[in-house]
Amino acid sequence: SYELTQPDSVSVALGQTARISCGRTNIADYNVHWYQQRPGQAPLLVIYKNNNRPSGIPERFSGSNSGNTATLIISRAQFEDEGDYYCQLWDRSVAMFGGGTKLSIL
Amino acid sequence: QVTLKESGPVVVRPTETLTLTCVVSGFSLNNNRMSVSWIRQLPGKALEFLAHIWPNDDENYAKSLNDRLTIAKDASKGQVVLTMTNMNPADTGTYFCARRTLTYNYGMDVWGQGTTVTVSS
């Protein structure tokens, strides 16, 4: 099991909004980062510090973090957004990753 | 351009020690705003943090693997080396190095392509 809890899979219709959750007690006390991983590729940082996009990441990616749940939000989901998504935080200089969520675009 | 590239043996035997090298370019390992982690991914599994090294050479390790791991860097060569002792088939997977940067509040913004390691006799 993982200390950060993510759903195994999320499906969303093309053009709709996908939401992927990441749960941990008092996760709002941490900065949560999100990574996208396509098959056979290295992870890509898509959200840092809860709700910020690195340069080059489309505006449709956003995030939130409150209470015990952080959420990655993908608006107007595209086929190219399919892949695995991981939440991550640093706890006393040790990185923790969620178990990953497979996003499917229907 | 910032890049990281992992290298190491493709196959190791059970009980052997694995040594992986991450060569970085485009930034300095002495830069206080940046540091390097090793992360692995076992087949079909999630990302798993292994170790991290700071510009001042402080080290952090995953609790579950702490007694098997050592991380070190040579800033003059732009290299970060990870050793893992007593390898076993359950350690088969892809090993990544990644840069952690204060620019992105310690998100890992650049990753190597990964190197695949198989543990087999």
> What would the two tokens of residue A50 be?
């809860």
**pLDDT at position A3:** 87
Contact A33, A47 (CB under 8 A): yes
Look at the block and give the residue holding tokens 């694995």: B18
Nearest-CB residue to B46 (from A54, A95, A98): A98
Contact A104, A7 (CB under 8 A): no
Instruction: Break chain B down into helix, strand, coil percent, rounded to 5.
Output: 10, 55, 35
Q: Which residues in chain A have Cβ-Cβ distances shorter than 8 Å to B115?
A: none
What's the one-letter identity of residue B62? A
CB contact under 8 A, B46 and A42: no
Contact B92, B119 (CB under 8 A): yes
Instruction: Give per-residue pLDDT as tens, A11-48.
Output: 999 999 999 999 999 999 999 999 999 999 999 999 99
- Rounded to a whole number of angstroms, the distance from the CA of B54 to the nearest CA of chain A is 10
| Residue A65 forms contact with B (CB below 8 Å) | no
Q: Give residues with Cβ within 8 angstroms of B107, minimum separation 6.
A: A33, A45, A48, A49, A54, A88, B100, B101
What is the C-alpha to C-alpha distance for residues B65 and B6, in angstroms, rounded to an integer?
Answer: 20
What is the C-alpha to C-alpha distance for residues A6 and B108, in angstroms, rounded to an integer?
Answer: 19
Instruction: Give per-residue pLDDT as tens, A68-94.
Output: 999 999 999 999 999 999 999 999 889
Chain B contacts to A (CB-CB under 8 A) = 37, 39, 46-49, 52, 60-63, 96, 98, 104-109, 111-114
Instruction: Give per-residue pLDDT as tens, B52-90.
Output: 999 999 999 999 998 999 999 999 999 999 999 999 999
Q: Which residues in chain B have Cβ-Cβ distances shorter than 8 Å to A37?
A: 47
Under DSSP, the state recorded for A54 is P
CB contact under 8 A, A49 and B62: no
| Residue A38 forms contact with B (CB below 8 Å) | no
